């Protein structure tokens, strides 16, 4: 029923993940492991490779450094796909606004973020992490979702796939979700709780891929909000300075943002 696709580089993480998966999913599944320690494929290419081997109608792309805390979450997921309107990508963390400034699912405003997961940055004992959640207990339409868990119908995936021009391990989720959200509805699903053993990294690769992912979408389908755009721009400046982005590159991106903002304001 569900094909689980994992890009794997750590044996102990994969073993812990697969054990958790078997105990909690609650439906028939296949686990497709793309062992990437030697080949070192970009995650977009690894995921496309895994999806090409999938035999079920529902695909889940998930990191190996997670464990699940919801029983029968596979049943919940399939039921959501069958009941939601025009479903694209479903996930456990997303944003109901996507700005013109480069960003991932986190965005810039608490009121547009929807998420529910356990954050365990130290990769330590299970349940020692902090439950991180928004105030939403209902499914929400979103644009961009966190790549830690992305679920999609195979029929939708075949039309879009992950962008293999994106190297490394950033931006693949933003690109994938934004392109699909032009024709389908992406959703945050609150009833699938997982624990993620990672803190995430914002570096030059992150900015390069996130900028590329945003540039490939005009975002005309997002209802424009100038207040959120200004907040997003301030966040972009702050994060880019901290990650030591070159001043020339920052100026170039800022200029592109201003041009896009000007065009949207005039509409």
Q: What is the pLDDT of residue 138?
A: 83
| Per-residue pLDDT reduced to its tens digit, 102-137 | 999 998 888 899 999 988 876 555 555 677 777 677
Domains present along the chain, CATH in parentheses: 2-266 (3.90.550.10)
pTM of the model: 0.92
Q: What is the pLDDT of residue 252?
A: 84
Please choose, from the candidates 181, 189, 180, 182, the residue with its C-alpha nearest in 3D space to the C-alpha of residue 161: 180
| Per-residue pLDDT reduced to its tens digit, 34-58 | 999 988 999 999 999 999 999 999 9
| φ, ψ at 5 (rounded to 5°) | -120, 125
Q: Are 115 and 132 in contact (CB under 8 A)?
A: yes
| Per-residue pLDDT reduced to its tens digit, 134-154 | 767 789 999 999 999 999 999
Beta-strand (E) ranges in the chain? 2-8, 29-35, 58-62, 66-68, 87-91, 93-95, 113-119, 130-133, 140-142, 144-145, 149-153, 185-188, 194-196
Helix (H) or strand (E) holding 257: helix 247-266
| Per-residue pLDDT reduced to its tens digit, 177-188 | 999 999 999 999
Task: Look at residue 218 and tell me whether its pLDDT is greater than 60.
Answer: yes
Q: Are 7 and 31 in contact (CB under 8 A)?
A: no
């Amino acid at each position: 029923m569900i094909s689980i696709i994992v890009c794997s580089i750590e044996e102990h993480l994969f073993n812990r993940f697969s054990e958790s998966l078997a105990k909690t999913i609650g439906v028939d599944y296949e686990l497709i492991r793309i062992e990437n320690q030697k080949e070192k494929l970009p995650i977009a290419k690894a995921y496309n490779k895994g999806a090409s081997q999938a035999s079920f109608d529902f695909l889940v792309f998930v990191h190996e450094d997670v464990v699940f805390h919801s029983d029968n979450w596979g049943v919940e997921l399939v039921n959501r796909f069958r009941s939601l309107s025009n479903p694209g990508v479903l996930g456990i963390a997303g944003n109901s606004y996507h700005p013109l400034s480069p960003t991932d699912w986190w965005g810039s405003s608490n009121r547009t973020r929807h998420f529910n997961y356990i954050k365990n940055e130290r990769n330590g004992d299970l349940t020692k992490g902090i439950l991180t959640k928004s105030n939403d207990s209902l499914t929400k339409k979103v644009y961009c979702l966190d790549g830690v868990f992305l679920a999609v119908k195979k029929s939708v995936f075949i039309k879009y796939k992950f962008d293999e021009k994106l190297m490394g391990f950033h931006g693949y989720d933003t690109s994938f979700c934004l392109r699909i959200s032009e024709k389908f509805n992406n959703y945050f699903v609150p009833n699938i709780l997982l624990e993620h053993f990672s803190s995430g990294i914002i570096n030059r690769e992150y900015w390069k891929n996130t900028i590329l992912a945003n540039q490939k979408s005009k975002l005309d389908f997002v209802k424009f909000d100038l207040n959120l755009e200004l907040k997003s721009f301030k966040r972009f400046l702050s994060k880019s300075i901290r990650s030591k982005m070159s001043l020339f590159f920052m100026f170039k991106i800022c200029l592109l943002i201003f041009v896009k903002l000007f065009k949207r304001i005039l509409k």
